[in-house]
Structure 1
């Protein structure tokens, strides 16, 4: 399937949020995926991953997750300076800012003739957490979270009662949780804590742990595992095919 890409600058309560849109070419109405990057924003690997999903018949929106804290168009490098800046941004942005970002993208999609109105979410690393956060929105029917960081910590600024794991009752859609057993950012105890809480909340979710390192989906760097990445895409496509493309 051929795709097209364009940029839209969406107004949010915390400023303009540049959002990259990748969607199928031609006529039609397509389900949408809110696609969340790592702390580095839309790098080459993130853009390619979003286009893979778009090529399977989805309108994919990639927001600049730290738009309040950087000039429009900022992409951080996969180096120590980029990592330090991204982690500082993660620690500076209030978690409720992601909620208004999600609402802005959902509102935009509802106005587009090319969107079917069926919406999911997907993300890697902090983006896995932000996809999980998007699942709090009632419009989100399915969410694929890849090695979601900080679900088991308090690193992201939260007001009382606003931690993502404190709002599980707001999640109505299906979750796909994918992890790497050799991920030094999310220890075994952290994964176990998340699993227990999702189970206790009686959420609809599937859970996969692979022998992979953090960022095994990223097609740059020594941690990339092409075989696991392909499996991850297939699991996500199965989830969205079952939930967003139902007749």
Structure 2
């Protein structure tokens, strides 16, 4: 593990300024870029810590506040330990903000995030990786479909609603993707039941994409997030291994 630096910054998007966090090895050299997409609870110390851990393996990691139109992070007051069962109002506050982030708006932002990475002297030339958690897993997949020449690898962890009836359901975009994909599904995740996982895998096979889709037994939606009740240390470490293997092969 190398020493890393982390900095909070503001980056321009077509729809205003997005607050973000950027972590990178502190050797001053360019490293492969990674776009890390947040879960619903947003940009906060846990995600900054994850960005630094990834940077320690030799990556330049950008974590944008994807809900920047609604304000700077944190958008809601978060307890130190997040348990939605005890704080149901958190989701009531966050869901309208999440639903307002349409795929079109999110992908317009994604272009700005990718441009920022491409312009940074601390980011190596060439395609980047994307990793996302919960809603971020969907955003990472959409980004690979919208910018296939710029995203070489995607890790999607405990993402829900990957297969829906919508015209622009993530599984309908797979034929645009050139990246290698990895999915770490939680088996205790009501937002992605078994039949949806099977439908996703069929769509991946049809699209001819290089991918791995794995079920993490005993893991709940949100298992990577150490500041939440869903955290599962064993599943989280498995996710790190899978993500580092993926980026090691592709970036």
Tell whether the structures are fold-level matches, with TM greater than 0.5.
yes
Asked if 1:153 corresponds to 2:159, the answer is: no
Q: 1:240 aligns with which of 214, 236, 247?
A: 247
**Structure 1 residue 80: Cα displacement:** 2.1
Tell me, in whole angstroms, the C-alpha distance in 1 between the residues paired with 2:61 and 2:3.
14
Question: For the Cα contact (< 8 Å) 1:35–1:122, is it kept in 2?
Answer: yes
User: What do the CA deviations read for 1:109-156 (whole angstroms, capped 9, x no partner)?
Assistant: 1111111124100011001111111112120000000011221236xx
Is the 8 Å Cα contact of residues 43 and 75 (structure 1) preserved in structure 2?
no
Q: What does residue 231 of structure 2 align with?
A: 224
Could you say which residue in structure 2 is the equivalent of 1:46?
47
Does 1:81 pair with 2:89?
yes
Residues 14 and 112 of structure 2 are in contact (CA less than 8 Å); yes or no, is this contact kept in structure 1? no
Matches within 5 A, 1:207-218: 207-211=213-217, 212-218=219-225
What is the SS of the residue equivalent to 2:48?
helix
Compared CA separation, residues 222 and 73, structure 1 to 2 (3 A)? closer
2:124 aligns to what SS in structure 1?
Answer: strand
- Match of 1:30, SS state, is coil
Gaps of 5+ in 2: none
Contact in 2 for aligned 1:96/1:162 (Cα 8 Å): no
- Following superposition, the deviation at residue 73 of structure 1 comes to 2.9
Query: What SS class does the counterpart of residue 188 from structure 2 fall into?
Result: coil
Contact preservation (8 Å) 1:145, 1:176? yes
1:1-247 equivalences in 2 (<5 Å): 1-68=2-69, 70-76=70-76, 77=78, 78=82, 79-117=87-125, 118-136=127-145, 137=147, 138-153=149-164, 161-211=167-217, 212-244=219-251
Structure 1 window deviating more from structure 2 (29-38 vs 180-189): it is 180-189
The DSSP-based 3-state class of the residue aligned with 1:23 is strand
Deviation at 1:60, TM superposition (A): 0.6
**Residues of 2 paired with 1:215 and 1:163: CA distance?**
21
1:54-110 deviation per Cα after TM superposition (whole angstroms, max 9, x unaligned) = 111111100111111x22233432332222222211212211111111110111111
RMSD between aligned residues: 1.6
Segments of 4+ in structure 1 off by > 6 A?
Answer: none
Instruction: Extract unaligned runs of 5+ from structure 1.
Output: none
TM-score (norm 2): 0.89
Q: Indicate conservation of the 8 Å contact 2:44/2:73, yes or no.
A: no
Aligned residues: 238
**By how many angstroms is 1:209 displaced?**
0.5
